[in-house]
Amino acid sequence: MNLRHSLSLTVSSVTLVLKVLIYTTVLFLIAFSLFMAITEPIIESFGEDFDLIAEIEEDLGALAGQSEGGPLKAFVESNSDDIVRAAVLYVLLFVLIRFGVAFSLIPTAFVLYNKMSTGFNAGFINSTVATGGKAALYALTYTAITVPADIVILVIGYFLTSFLGSAIGVAGLAVAILLTFALGAFRLAMTARWAPEMIAENLKFRRSASGFFNNFDWSYVKEIFPSMLMMLIFVSGIIVTTAVSTFGIIPIVVLPLAFVWYTAISAVGYFNFKKRKYYIDERVIDPQNRF
């Protein structure tokens, strides 16, 4: 029920998907500009005659004991402070991107809530203005919680892939990837209730945070976990199979669609969790009737 209705809600929200696409495009263009600004001084310090590939090969040979090391090793040693500074700035840039993405969760949830509860399209820009304060506080907290959790999941996924892949081959890789997706879906499901609850109950940020952390309910996680897992598998499959052949165009479109789909899963799950009726297009869905 959750998967089917969240898909219907996402497909019927094409305008919202397009606006999220514009938002994320602007966000990533800004991030790319900052990335280049951080990287350019390091590239310039290499010099015009510096062959990066050749120097990497030479330094890899040094690691294998075939040579004493090349200019790349000397460059890293002589510019270690600048490289560390750039690494810190890369981490901050990554956190900034995550903050920007999380910031748009609340306006998106606001649009979907109004559409589901009244059939009215509130508009993404109007929703952003109306929820800006809550969205900023939510994004700060959400980013602080989820970035470390996602890093832990990636590390676990890496070790699972290494261990199972070497132990049982291709089948092990498939199992490791599926387990990693399951961990990611579990994390998404655990943090999903906060946004729709804040909007649906018209809560201030502090009260919504207190309610989410102090009254955590596993039944909501159980409600949406299968949908989150299917979303991750489906979206990842499309991105992997189309990234090269379409020069990244399909992934650029799919990611905002996945973002709205994630928010729709969260919102539909919340209405089902609370046993409240809601609109999907012109249909009225009664959670009391699961089929």
Q: What is the pLDDT of residue 233?
A: 94
Please indicate, yes or no, if residue 128 is contained in any of the structural domains: yes
For the segment 177-192, the average pLDDT, to the nearest whole number, is 95
Q: What is the DSSP secondary-structure string of 74-105?
A: HHHHHTHHHHHHHHHHHHHHHHHHHHHHHHTH
Please indicate, yes or no, if residue 252 is contained in any of the structural domains: yes
Mean pLDDT, the chain, whole residue set:
85
pLDDT band at residue 41 under the 50/70/90 scheme = confident
Lowest mean pLDDT among 26-35, 46-55, 191-200: 46-55
Q: What is the pLDDT of residue 86?
A: 80
Two tokens, residue 18? 């397009």
Please indicate, yes or no, if residue 48 is contained in any of the structural domains: no
pLDDT in tens, 1-26: 788 899 999 998 999 999 999 999 99
- Give every CB contact of residue 143 below 8 A, 6+ residues apart in sequence: 95, 98, 99, 102
Please indicate, yes or no, if residue 61 is contained in any of the structural domains: no
The Cα-based distances of 190 to 41, 187, 195, 289 in angstroms read: 41, 5, 12, 25
Please indicate, yes or no, if residue 129 is contained in any of the structural domains: yes
For residue 52, is pLDDT > 60? Answer: no
- Spatial distance between the Cα atoms of 180 and 160, rounded to a whole number of angstroms: 8
Lowest mean pLDDT among 58-72, 78-92, 110-124, 206-220: 58-72
pLDDT band at residue 75 under the 50/70/90 scheme = low
- Give every CB contact of residue 144 below 8 A, 6+ residues apart in sequence: none
Two tokens, residue 157? 């996924």
- Spatial distance between the Cα atoms of 157 and 111, rounded to a whole number of angstroms: 34
Please indicate, yes or no, if residue 55 is contained in any of the structural domains: no
Please indicate, yes or no, if residue 195 is contained in any of the structural domains: yes
Number of domains observed in the structure of the chain: 1
Q: Which one has a higher pLDDT value, 169 or 75? A: 169
Distance of CA 113 to the CA centre of its chain: 21
The Cα-based distances of 193 to 25, 143, 249 in angstroms read: 26, 15, 31
- Spatial distance between the Cα atoms of 29 and 50, rounded to a whole number of angstroms: 28
pLDDT in tens, 144-177: 999 999 999 999 999 999 888 888 888 888 999 9
- Spatial distance between the Cα atoms of 89 and 179, rounded to a whole number of angstroms: 32
pTM here is: 0.84
Residue type at 186 in one-letter notation: F
Q: For the CA atoms of the chain, what is the radius of gyration? A: 23
- Spatial distance between the Cα atoms of 125 and 111, rounded to a whole number of angstroms: 10
Instruction: Say if residues 59 and 73 touch (Cβ distance below 8 Å).
Output: yes
Which of 202, 287, 265 is CA-nearest to residue 13? 265
- Spatial distance between the Cα atoms of 209 and 194, rounded to a whole number of angstroms: 7
Specify the DSSP class assigned to residue 68: S
Q: What is the largest CA-CA distance in the chain?
A: 73
Please indicate, yes or no, if residue 193 is contained in any of the structural domains: yes
For residue 287, is pLDDT > 50? Answer: yes
State which residues form the domain around 242.
2-26+104-285
Two tokens, residue 156? 């676990």
Specify the DSSP class assigned to residue 51: -
